[in-house]
Structure formats: structure tokens, C-alpha cells
Chain A
């Protein structure tokens, strides 16, 4: 059964200049973030969303998590429509966004997780055990009593992932999840994600890292200028290089690293 269904989704951001705009340079207009996008993701599937900046990857995740609502078409999670039954959708979805600063700075990591776990209706009896587990999964055991205002950006990102995991969502949305993580934490993190997928969690991740996409995802969706440009099944023999070649071939962008540095394309 498909757990996430995008059907002809369109999302437009309209810009309205300020009332007294003669002093500024702001222009009115609109940005089409997603245009007629349809795809689905099955139970336990890991789907990677690839695409250049501004291609609509994060918008897609925000639509699934109900942070945004579609202008046309529909987004369904576990059969619930995000526009009509947001609460039911939110019960199933956990999201970790790339630029994580979204915590209460004067609470510790553990206190932040306890707070969000309560709002996510994680049973009190299970809460502490789950928090311990996700702190372990994200390598934050030692910092669990540190106020998050003292965290580095990598630690913020880990805590964001921990928060998304603590509710044990059936749909996990990860927006460039390893962008600020060190190598050891990254490796451990992907093991956790694979284990979650084996337990039938559907994972949608956006990334610019072809090696990670090739290693962890079963399918890649290439978004470009708000549209689905191509789709590719990722088998066990998929490599970062082949995925990279696919990306540049489909988007028509020039892979300048290949010409500039001999063998640079193969380094990833």
C-alpha cells in the first residue's frame, strides 16, 4: 500500500510587495515551487529526492508534514488528506529540516525532547526509554543535559533528527539530514534509517550527496524547476558516480568538477 501519495500537486508562492514600496526594490510576482507533481512512496520504502537548489524538494516535504497546503492537487499520507485531515496526518509524520535551530534554547536536549514528545502524545511510560534510545542513535547521550543554546550546528541537526524519531513516525521526512554531521555519526545515522525502513517506516530524504542516496535509497526522484524530471530505481549495484551522471544528464547541467580535476567525479 502507498503510504504517501502526491497527485497533480501545484504549489505557488506569491510575493506581494510592502504597501509603501517606492523606497525598496521588492517586486511582486509568483514562484511556482511545484507544478503538476505526482509520485508515491510505499510502506518501508526509502525514497531520495534529488535536484538542484530551488527545485521543490523541501516544499514537497513541507507539504507532506502539513506545514504547507497545496494550491491544487492532493497530498495523502496513510490515506488522510493533508488539507482536510491535518491532525491525522501529523500523527504519522516526523520531520527533520536542514537548518535546525528550532529548539528552546534554555532547555537541555533532553528537556526539549520531553517537551516535543508530550505534544506528540508519546505515552509517558515509554517516553524516557524512547528519548534515551534516540539520544543514543544520534550520538547525543553525553550532551543530553546541556542547554541547546550551547550546541554546535551539527549537534542541533542531530537533535532535530532525534526529535523526528522520538514519536516513531510511520513516515519520516529528512531534509539534508547529514549536512552538518561528522563521519561517525553519519554512518551510525544511516544504519538507524535502514533499520527503521526494515520496520516498515517510509523515509523520504532530500540530499545533494549522491553516495548517500545510492547507499540508502531504493528509488530516486529527480526534481527540476518544480517538476518531476525523472525517476530511477536504485539497485544494489548503483554507485555514486552513476547516480551523479544520471543527475547531470537529466538536468542538463554541466559537471564542472569532471573537467577541472582529473578523476574528481569518481571521488565522491
Chain B
């Protein structure tokens, strides 16, 4: 346990030092968030107040949708970047010769990556509320619960991306899938009920749909956890099953790469 905490501290320190030595990146992120939110704010104005998807104003609706969607996308990118950078810089092979188990290393690295993506999500939602006056009606417990389950799901997807990067050097393909298909089906920009029945059904097997729905229910409609069973249970189920599958896939991909000598290929 002490050793794990020590490793986590080392990874957090490495990432923090690397981040603060890239001084301009943080400011650019903030500027990007504000520009994106401004675009959605004026889009909501252009659409007008009569369009109230799921009974809420459009701007908070899209704020939560794009905020959560970006959270998943950034998380997946964080995992992809961790592996890609390790492969390109040559640290991949050396990291795999340390006494730390690869799965432990990836999970600990993910905690660090999530500190960053969670902070981005927080800034995004907070800027929407404070700067652009998005109306919220939050149930804090529900929000926390959804966030924890969403993080579990994001870790699972991230490890899947990492496994794919090690196996085929094309983890970006999964990120692309998240970036296009999931964007369209998860209801980030519009309610999935407006899709044709076949696509509505398809959206129900996209786990991120439940994370976005859950956040809207908890943050905008003040629903309690008991009222959110139909969202929380599938979200938890997807998270657990995908986490087990992704860890298995990661371990397998690593063994294959060691066998084929492709650990540092990119």
C-alpha cells in the first residue's frame, strides 16, 4: 500500500512538473473553453427559448452534453497520449522493466490523467454557470454518483484505447470512433428521442449516453439517486464489465507485444 501511494505520488509529481513547464498550455485551454461556450451560448440564443429538450433550457442542456462528452474524449486521449509518448520517447520499454506491474502503472497514470480531465470538466461547467449564466438545479449526491461511475467508465475506455495502441499502434481509431459515432448517438447536442427508432435503440448501447443523461438529471433536474435507477444501473454495469474486459485486453496486448517485439513500435 505504501509503495502504491509512493508510486502514485511520483506519477502525479511527474505530470504536474511537466504540465507547469508547459506554461502556455493551461491558458490556451481556458481560452478554448470560453470560446466554445460562447459559441454554444449564441447558438442557444439563435434557437430561441421555446426549444426545451427534456424540459430544460437548451444552453445548460448542451453545456452538460458537450462537457461530459469532452470529458470522455479527453480521458481517452490522455491514455492514448501516455502510451504514444512512451513509445515515441522510448520510455515504454524501460517502464515495462520496472518492478511495477504494467496494469498498476496504467491505472496509477490514469489517476493523474483524470485529475487533469476532471479539472477541465469543472472549469467548463463552472464557466458555463458563472460566465454564461446557465440555469442549474443540482442534486449534489446524484452528481457525485454519476461522476464516480462516469470516471470508472472513462478509465475502462481509456485502458481499451491503450491496449489498442499497443496492439495495432492505432488507438486513435477508437478515439476517432468516440469522436464521431458517439458524438452523434450519445445525445450530447440534441435529445436522442429525436433520432429515428433504430438509432435511438443504438444510442442505448452507447455507455456514454447514460453518463450524459445522468449528469443532466442530477445537475439540471434535481433528480435523486433513487429516481435515477434506469440511468445509474446501466452506467455502473457498463463501467464494471468494460473495466474487466479492458484490463484483460491490456494484459493480452502487452504479452503479445513482448512476444512480437513491438512494445515500442508506433
Contact = CB atoms under 8 A, between A and B. Distances in A.
Interface of A: 11, 13-14, 62, 65-69, 71, 87, 90-91, 93, 95, 97, 99-107, 111, 114-116, 118-121, 124, 147, 163, 167
A116 B18 contact: no
B9 A118 contact: yes
B260 interface: yes
Contact of A107 (B18, B93, B259): B18
A119 B263 contact: no
Closest A-B pairs by Cβ, 10 of them = A118-B10, A102-B90, A119-B98, A106-B21, A119-B100, A102-B94, A69-B258, A102-B91, A106-B18, A65-B97
Contacts of A119: 7, 10, 95, 98-100, 105
A136 B105 CA distance: 29
Interface string B24-66: 0000000000000000000000000000000000000000000
B21 A67 contact: no
B94 A163 contact: yes
Contacts of A107: 14, 17-18
Nearest to A14: B260
Contact of B99 (A87, A102, A105, A106): A87
Contacts of B95: 119
Nearest to A114: B10
Interface of B: 3, 6-7, 9-11, 13-14, 17-18, 21-22, 89-101, 105, 255, 258-261, 263
Contact of B97 (A13, A66, A101, A121): A66
A118 B99 contact: no
B89 A105 contact: yes
A14 B265 CA distance: 14
Contacts of B10: 114-115, 118-119
B260 A116 contact: no
A220 to B, nearest CB: 25
Contact of B13 (A68, A100, A115, A116): A115
A111 B14 contact: yes
Contacts of A115: 10-11, 13-14
